[in-house]
Structure formats: structure tokens, C-alpha cells
């Protein structure tokens, strides 16, 4: 195990099982529809790549960059959003794919944007949910795991751009970000 990780919360195997289950549910819910899966970069990239391959409905990919942390350990309370390649959401069934719903600021901001742009529906799939930290009223439609208020990294999630490539999700040792 990486020496900066205090505890492994979800192993590679348990994540894979849960992603399978989420994919099966989403496939059932979107049967007969085409969905536009929006990967919220960068944290959701690994989850997105695994999830979309477990969805049997036709899926169109879209990518958006939203950042609320930067190199800090706490959310700035607003999301900086940019779109690397513009895509049309008008009339589309959008599924926002996120690694974590924390304060909810990022997801709330993105959902509003897509609804204003004329999306037919906007649903949210978050691998992790931290309801204890919520600052705005928003609930993901699909959640992988509920987590306590701990600093989690791995499987796409970072601290100052490190740890994204860990295949598991772990709790970052306090000594790393309190230095
Ligand atoms: C993280 C995470 C979510 C957001 C959740 O992104 O990937 O997008 O914060 O936090 P919120 O619910 O408080 O808005 P981050 O800003 O760390 O950017 P990154 O995805 O590029 O790592």
C-alpha cells in the first residue's frame, strides 16, 4: 500500500462490483433511450471509463472540466467550469458522472447549466457521496458508496494532482495535507 494512505476504503474488486451494479441499473432506467454521459474532469475520468462500458443503452460521450478544489484541501465554494470540446445538450438525456458529491456546489452548478441549455433530463451518478458536507440541496440519482468526511484519493481522485492512478480508494494520511 502507498505509504501516504492511512486506510483502504474500497478495494479494486469492490469498486468493480459496484460499478457493474450501477451500470446495470442505469441500463434498465435508460432502456430505449440514448444517453449523453458527461465526464466531469479530471476526478471522474477513471470511473467514467469503467462505468460507460457497463451501460448497455447507447451512450454519447462528453467531457467538461470543473474544479472546486485546485491545490487546496477544502472546496472554494464555487466551481470553475470549462468545456474542452463544445457539445449540444438541447433535447438530450444527460447523465453527469462524478467521482464525488461533496459540498454539491459543482454538481448543482453543472445541473443548472445543462437544464438552462435545454437538456431533456439531467441525472447524476456519483461514485462517492459525502452527505455530511453538503452546502447546497442536491442528491445524486445513483451513488456508488456513502463516505464519511475524510480526505479520499485514488481511482481518479487526487490531492494536488497525485494519487489519481491508485486502483483503490483510500483515506489520505493527515500528515500529507497538514504539512
Ligand atoms: C472534485 C470532484 C468533484 C468536486 C466535488 O473536483 O472531482 O468535481 O470536487 O466537490 P463539491 O461537491 O464540493 O463541488 P476537484 O475540484 O478536486 O477537481 P478534479 O476533479 O480535477 O480533481
- List pLDDT tens digits, range 46-96: 999 999 999 999 999 999 998 775 555 555 667 788 877 778 899 999 999
CB of residue 97 inside a 6 A radius of ligand 1: no
The tens digit of pLDDT for each residue in 104-146 reads 999 999 999 999 999 999 999 999 999 999 999 999 999 999 9
CA 58 to chain centre: 20
pLDDT for residue 39: 97
Q: Answer with the residue of higher pLDDT: 178 or 31.
A: 31
For a pocket test of ligand 1, which of 41, 47, 48, 66 has the largest count of ligand atoms closer than 8 A to its C-beta?
Answer: 66
The tens digit of pLDDT for each residue in 136-175 reads 999 999 999 999 999 999 999 999 999 999 999 999 999 9
159 DSSP assignment: B
Amino acid at each position: 500500500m502507498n505509504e501516504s494512505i492511512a486506510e483502504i476504503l474500497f478495494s479494486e474488486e469492490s469498486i468493480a462490483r459496484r460499478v457493474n451494479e450501477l451500470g446495470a441499473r442505469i441500463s434498465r432506467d435508460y432502456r430505449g433511450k440514448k444517453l449523453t454521459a458527461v465526464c466531469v474532469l479530471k476526478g471522474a475520468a477513471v470511473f467514467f471509463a469503467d462505468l460507460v462500458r457497463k451501460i448497455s443503452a447507447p451512450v454519447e460521450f462528453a467531457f467538461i472540466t470543473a474544479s472546486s478544489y485546485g491545490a487546496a484541501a477544502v472546496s472554494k465554494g464555487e466551481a470553475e467550469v470549462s468545456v474542452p470540446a463544445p457539445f449540444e445538450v438541447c433535447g438530450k438525456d444527460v447523465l453527469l458522472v462524478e467521482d464525488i458529491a461533496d459540498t454539491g456546489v459543482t454538481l448543482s452548478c453543472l445541473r443548472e447549466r445543462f437544464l438552462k441549455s435545454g437538456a431533456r433530463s439531467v441525472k447524476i451518478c456519483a461514485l462517492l457521496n459525502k452527505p455530511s458536507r453538503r452546502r447546497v440541496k442536491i442528491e445524486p440519482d445513483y451513488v456508488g458508496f456513502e463516505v464519511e468526511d475524510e480526505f479520499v484519493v485514488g481511482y481518479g481522485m487526487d490531492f494536488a494532482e497525485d494519487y489519481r492512478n491508485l486502483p483503490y480508494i483510500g483515506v489520505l494520511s493527515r500528515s500529507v495535507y497538514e504539512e
